[in-house]
Amino acid sequence: MIINLEPLYSSIVENIKQRISNLNKAPKLAAVTCQPEPSTLAYLKSQEKQAKRLGIEFAVYEAPKVSDLKLLLPKLSADSSVSGIFLTHPLPVGISEHEAVMLISPDKDIEGRHPANLGNIMYDSPTFPPCTAEAVMRIINYLTNPSGKRITIVGRSVTVGKPLAMLLLQKGVDATVTVCHSRTRNIEELTQNSDIVVVAIGKAKMLGKNYFKPGTIVIDVGINIENDEIYGDVDPSVAEICELTPVPGGVGRITTLVLMEHVVKAAERSGVR
């Protein structure tokens, strides 16, 4: 069965709009890009539309060179008119992910990539968790109570696998978590013995029905292009025996809303009321 996430989506939209109405001015999202690819520019256009629908001011700042980027990020961090900063990927040669996020104030790091925001998760006090990890948490909590559930995460990235594991291990959430990666043996055995499986490996249709027991909640984080079609990391046939999030229109759609919600939260925390 394909999971219907529309009620969750609608509830987050309403929450964002309500919170914006309580601010004395619209929050502002600064999208920063350096040497963007055409697909990046197209993504920014769609992001701008979503922001404007919600009542969030949106501005794109393009840095021609890495040296410009290194000056721009601290400048925007110090700009009181900017609520949150979004940095597009891939980054150009000449600056690492860690170097780039360290130039962004943790208070404006709405993507949750800064070490300070990642570290807060370890202390069960997340402020801005990585958006995709938080989106998966929203979906899990929407579908079931994760307490005591056996949850397997396939993928160990800094933006999904690792922070999601820590969010699920928080006191009060209390899931039992297994994280798999490319060196994990017998992944199929682990996923078959799980109540919930989150797949975030970036390989189209990699996990088929043989990886899951009937009735498992399967959350597909993947977005892959194959023959001009969009596929997740999980084969669509898995929906015949499991509850499966849609691709597209699933985790990615909720992730965009979480990003926008973080902009509002950053504005609230800055005292824009």
- Tokens matching residue 153: 């995460």
Report d(CA 42, CA 32) in Å as an integer: 14
How far apart, in Å, are the Cα atoms of 36 and each of 60, 90, 92, 272? 11, 8, 9, 31
Query: Which amino acid would we find at residue 37?
Result: E
Q: Is 196 annotated as a binding residue?
A: no
Q: Is 156 annotated as a binding residue?
A: yes
Q: Please answer whether residues 208 and 238 qualify as being in contact, where contact means their C-beta atoms are separated by less than 8 angstroms.
A: yes
- Altogether, the residues listed in the chain come to a count of 273
Q: Is 155 annotated as a binding residue?
A: yes
Q: Please answer whether residues 188 and 211 qualify as being in contact, where contact means their C-beta atoms are separated by less than 8 angstroms.
A: yes
User: Nearest 5 degrees, angle CA 217-CA 218-CA 221?
Assistant: 145
DSSP 148-177: T-EEEEE---TTTHHHHHHHHTSTTT--EE
Spell out the residues 6+ positions from residue 131 whose beta carbon is closer than 8 angstroms to its own: 110, 111, 112, 159, 255, 258, 259, 262
Q: Is 121 annotated as a binding residue?
A: no
Spell out the residues 6+ positions from residue 125 whose beta carbon is closer than 8 angstroms to its own: none
CA-based nearest residue to 112, from 39, 47, 167: 167
Quick one: CA dihedral 36, 37, 38, 39, positive or negative? negative
- Please state the residue numbers annotated as binding site: 155-157, 223
- Please state the residue numbers annotated as binding site for NADP(+): 155-157, 223
